[in-house]
Structure 1
Amino acid sequence: MDIQPFHINISQSALDDLRHRLSRTRWLTPVTDAGWSEGTDSGFLRRLVDYWQHHFDWRAQETRLNALPQFKTRVADQEIHFVHQRGTGPAPLPLVLTHGWPGSFLEMEAIIPLLADPGSHGGDARDAFHVVVPSLPGYGFSTAPAVKGTGSYEVAGLWAGLMTNLGYERFGAQGGDIGAGVSSWLACRYPERMAGLHLNFIPGSYRPYLGEDQPAVSEEERQFQDRVAAWADQQGAYGRLQGTKPQSLAFGLNDSPAGLAAWIAEKFQAWSDCGGEIEHAVSLDALLTHISLYWFTQTIGSSFRMYVEGRARPMQLQQGQRILPPLGVAQFPAELPMPPRSWVERGYNVRRWTVMPRGGHFAAMEQPRALAEDIRAFFRPLRESASQR
């Protein structure tokens, strides 16, 4: 397999074009005191765009990111960008981390060293991982599929191929958001290769088998279904649009950096544990690095494909079907609606369930140390069985 080192190098002309477009933003006149209730707050967006145009230093972010060991390769005719940080310890366990939307591989930047070299960060070197962080197809520097049909199920196959080509036959998986779906499909499709599965979100399309031979839905589970329905009514319009008519939206966001910033910033404000203020969870520099990655790679439209494909192939388990590898769950308080443990146990082999004190949907960015420690603790008893395979 041909694996090539990769370094980020955005052209100066692209940087100049971005600043020019930002300077020509056509601003809306919102209703008074709308705040964040109907989308991104106008005052925040003006401040964000001003910072992006006049103060944000992409070159500094680029230099820092290029310290990560990045590569590109082809798996089943798909070009994949990935970070591959080898672990420092006596027997590192391979672990593939998968991001979601509106994230990218950048979500994992802070947690990579905590997992790859725990001994240098207050942990035990015996908990080290060989960390692999691929960019989903059509996100960042992974090329977009040219035809329909690449969703979480198919990405799991790509990741299995990538891990094989890196020499990792037995490995663990971790993810949230779309990454939780990819990781779950990995465990479902390749149980014999999985040492364990750790999630900080349960895939939204997950539905256990609920036939007559199964326990009736409990009151707690029914309340969860009601919460999901209420959340979808109040906050789910983005997913419906991205999963049904994504292209019309993508044309506008691909052409307007201010529009792109508004669309992505809304989700960071709504889904992070920030108390309504984004900067309580992530810095403007971190937020704009994510947004800039989408802008420079022109991948906002291709990122929506995962929503289209997810609707076409949801994770609905059939009679007798279970996800067999051990599962650990880190439940963060500001996460999107999470099911009770009983709902997850209907389809997964739950071994660990940790209620975290702080954090939201972007857990690896918001609370990297807490998430890393839960991942290490979950996999600790699974390492011996993994090494014996």
Structure 2
Amino acid sequence: MVEQVPVTGDLPGLRPFRVAVPEAELADLRDRLRRTRWPEAAPAPGWEQGIPLEVVQRLCRRWAEGYDWRATEARLDAVPQYLVTVDGLDLHLLHARSPHPGAFPLVLTHGWPGSVLELLSLVGPLTDPPAHGGRAEDAFDVVIPSLPGYGFSGRPTTRGWGIERVARAWARLMALLGYDRYGAAGSDWGTSVSATLGVLDPAHVAGVHLVPPLAGPRPDGGPPSPEERAALAELAQRGRESSAYSEVHRTAPQTVGYALTDSPAGLCAWLGEKLLAWTGPPGLTDDQVLDQVSLYWFTRTAASSARLYAESIGQVAGWLGGQDEPVVRVPAGASVFGAEVPRPSRRWTERRFPDLRYWAEHERGGHFPALEVPELLVEDLRAFYRHVR
């Protein structure tokens, strides 16, 4: 399905990349933050009408006065990074090879409002397990691309860059890197892209690990269990109370992009609301939130990242409702974290992923396990891929 290119030193078309935000950009950010025009506090208590004023003001004070982007930049630049043109678009990727022979290739995909920074803490434990309490035979070569329109990847200028086209680009990317057989894993959009990759490139995808798997009930599937009813109720509540961002991204990514690209406080509120609300206790630190917000700010990708919703969120919503689910026949593993929504059952998952070889449910963690509970996610990845290496 895809052309294989052997690894012989530098690969054709792979251009080394480093992050170096100009100092003038940092100064401009701080100036904008200090001149923010704030709204009044909400008349409703807590988070009832969105992220509270005092939370956003706290984040923005930290962003302007104490947050160290240069330290974050250095963490990124400590991992080999590249740009490569695939399907006419420049893709940014982190590519960390393991020092251990026989390491298994793994492409990790982030989502929104995440980025490659979300997955950075996984690189060391996955590429060099003995240095992090693991076994050398569990080592991975790790590839972490930035989704099209996200981070330092190019921004599509035409329609059509939905999850299928992204998955095809990932298949081509892994071939360019010389990997004939590999795994795919991810969360949020990364779940959809990885599952689709398993459908489109089964000759090369050894298995997919999903956080969580996207599968829903069917009318002919019998009555839901008490746990399934609770999960469906939480998903419905999420849809009623906090899905406005998704509808805006789906219907008007350009419109919201003007405000989010021009106002750092606005961007901080828009992304920070989900980064904080979708986690389990104790949640993310302010600097973990600002890492993600900063990357979106400096790359000016608020609008381009939102367009993936216009391309594919309707399709994904159908899968959550048990409709039009393509069966993924490659081996699959799944991790479901306690504060995550949705939380599909194993029964629903096995219908869509009939070769389900690994299932884990965790009380801790939420939508961003690589930031919240990386040790649990790393162990799940190691455990699942032992079945398919």
Give the match for residue 177 of structure 1.
Answer: 188
1:116 to 113, 116, 127: 127
1:335 to 334, 340, 346: 340
Matched, 1:63 2:74: yes
- Could you tell me whether the CA contact under 8 Å between 1:265 and 1:287 is conserved in 2? yes
**Displacement of 1:222 after TM fit?**
5.4
The root-mean-square deviation of aligned C-alpha atoms, in Å, is 1.9
Matched, 1:324 2:329: yes
The answer for unaligned runs of 5 or more in structure 2 is 1-11
Give the match for residue 277 of structure 1.
Answer: none
> Take 2:112 and 2:32, find their aligned partners in 1: how far apart are those partners?
24
> Take 1:309 and 1:319, find their aligned partners in 2: how far apart are those partners?
16
Q: Structure 1, residues 185-223: CA drift from partner, whole Å, max 9, x if none?
A: 0011111211111111233xx567x58xx6445445555
Matched, 1:246 2:257: no
- Could you tell me whether the CA contact under 8 Å between 2:32 and 2:263 is conserved in 1? yes
> Take 2:283 and 2:65, find their aligned partners in 1: how far apart are those partners?
23
**Displacement of 1:224 after TM fit?**
3.8
> Take 1:123 and 1:114, find their aligned partners in 2: how far apart are those partners?
8
Match runs of 1:202-351 below 5 Å: 202-203=213-214, 206=215, 210=218, 215-216=221-222, 218-219=224-225, 221=228, 224-274=231-281, 280-311=282-313, 313-314=315-316, 316=319, 322-348=327-353, 349-351=355-357
Matched, 1:18 2:29: yes
Q: Secondary structure at the match of 2:379?
A: helix
Aligned length in residues = 373
Describe the shift of the 1:321–1:35 C-alpha distance in structure 2 as closer, same or farther (beyond 3 A): closer
Q: Structure 1, residues 254-313: CA drift from partner, whole Å, max 9, x if none?
A: 110000001111101210113xxxxx3322222112111100100011010111111354
Give the match for residue 116 of structure 2.
Answer: 105
Matched, 1:378 2:389: no
Q: Structure 1, residues 325-352: CA drift from partner, whole Å, max 9, x if none?
A: 1111111101112111111111112211
Give the match for residue 46 of structure 1.
Answer: 57
Moved more, 224-233 or 372-381: 224-233
Name the aligned partner's letter for residue 91 of structure 1.
Answer: G
Q: Secondary structure at the match of 1:109?
A: helix
The answer for unaligned runs of 5 or more in structure 1 is 275-279, 384-389
Matched, 1:162 2:184: no
Please give the TM-score of this superposition, normalised by the length of structure 1: 0.91
> Take 1:367 and 1:222, find their aligned partners in 2: how far apart are those partners?
26
**Displacement of 1:318 after TM fit?**
8.2
Quick one: percent identity of the two aligned structures? 43
- Could you tell me whether the CA contact under 8 Å between 2:121 and 2:374 is conserved in 1? yes
Q: Secondary structure at the match of 2:93?
A: strand
Matched, 1:96 2:107: yes
Give the match for residue 8 of structure 2.
Answer: none
Q: Secondary structure at the match of 1:132?
A: strand
Name the aligned partner's letter for residue 170 of structure 2.
Answer: W
Moved more, 12-21 or 281-290: 281-290
- Could you tell me whether the CA contact under 8 Å between 2:42 and 2:49 is conserved in 1? no
> Take 2:325 and 2:47, find their aligned partners in 1: how far apart are those partners?
45
Name the aligned partner's letter for residue 346 of structure 1.
Answer: R
> Take 1:11 and 1:355, find their aligned partners in 2: how far apart are those partners?
43
Describe the shift of the 1:321–1:136 C-alpha distance in structure 2 as closer, same or farther (beyond 3 A): closer
